[in-house]
Structures are given as structure tokens and as C-alpha cells.
Structure 1
Amino acid sequence: MNTNHKLVSELKSALSGTLEYIDAIPSEFGNKLPSMREFNREHINVLLQGVSSVSDLQSALRASLEYIDSIPSAVADFFPLMPGIDRDWADNLLDGCTSDDA
């Protein structure tokens, strides 16, 4: 698998992991969560299902991580750990590095 295909594949995996985390947020916290201005779920689903550029996937991953980071810690402490994603790995993907490069 060439490097670009591997990066796209890993970006999609990381993005899916952030969506799993966001989907796992209990509904009773809905009114305590930040606005989803930069986080567009429908756009992310399109990126995950189709042929997507590295930059589009990186932008979507960045937006989803920023959304997760904006959740107040007093609220986030009640959530499970982020499933399926390691933050260092996600940060490396934003820098254009795959797990093979790390």
C-alpha cells in the first residue's frame, strides 16, 4: 500500500474513532456540550464513504478533535475513554505521518 493510501486509510480510521466517541456521549449531557459549529457530521460521513483527499480528511479530523477538546472536563469525566483512537496517533496523522512513520 503506498504511503498516501495508507494515510487516507488511517485518517478514515481515526475519524471513525472520534465519531464513535461523540456518539457514545450520553444524551443527558446534550445541553452541556459545546456547539458543533465546525463539526459537520454529514460532511464527515461523505468523506468516510467516498474517495477523499488527505487535506479534507485532516480538516475533518482536526474539527472533530477540536470539538472533543472543547467538551468541559467536568462533563467529559463522565464519558468512557475515547474508543478506537490514540491521540498521539491522531496528532501524527494531522502532521501527515502514518503509524509506519512513527
Structure 2
Amino acid sequence: MIELLVVLVLLGLITGAVVPSLESTLSSRRFAIQRKELAEQLALLPLKAQLTNQKVVVDSASALSVDAELQITRPIVVLANGFCLGGQLSIVQGAQQYEYQVNAPLCSVSPLLPN
């Protein structure tokens, strides 16, 4: 009977140590998926501009269908020929805000380093 109690106590201690770490890991994975989806959508903008033969301007988060809280800090502009002029955006996750640069000519995304 004592052995069972010791095993249950140890199991409780291990679970108490693992669960917060697991929650953090899941949150990180969710955020990584959001970043990947955003990068994929931005990479398709030059193709969209070429197919429609129209300039594409993303100046609000609603223009991108990403499951993340976005703020466009500098509009992302893609010319009708598919050349991306770049832009800047940030993703908000809880209290954290992550800044990203959208680079010319392919609308690739790279993180901005904090000042």
C-alpha cells in the first residue's frame, strides 16, 4: 500500500513538472505554424499579381487569411509583373510582438532583430 502511495506521489511530481513545459511547447508549435502559413501566403502574392496583371497592396491584416493577430506596419506592395517591393509586419502573440521584414523581390519573410 505504501509503495502505491509513493508511486502516485512521484507520478504527481513528474506530471507537475512536465505539463507546463508541454504547454509552452504546444504554444511555440502553434506560433511556428502561423509564421509558416503567413510566409506561404506572402510568397504567393507575386504569382497572384502576375495572374491578375494587377498591383497587389496588402495594407491591412484582413487581406491575408492567417489565423494570427497581424499588424501591417509598412504596406506590402507587389507590382503587376510580380516584383515584390517589400513591406513590414508584426505578429502579436499574447504580450509578445514579433516584427518581420518582407523582402524584395520575392516577398520572402525574415525576422527583424530588436533594437
Query: TM-score range with shorter-chain normalisation?
Result: 0.3 to 0.5
Q: TM-score, normalised by structure 1?
A: 0.35
Name the structure, 1 or 2, with higher relative contact order (CA <8 Å, separation 6+).
1
Answer with 1 or 2: which has the greater Rg: 2
Structure that is richer in strand per residue: 2
TM-score, structure 2 as length reference = 0.32
More helix by share: 1
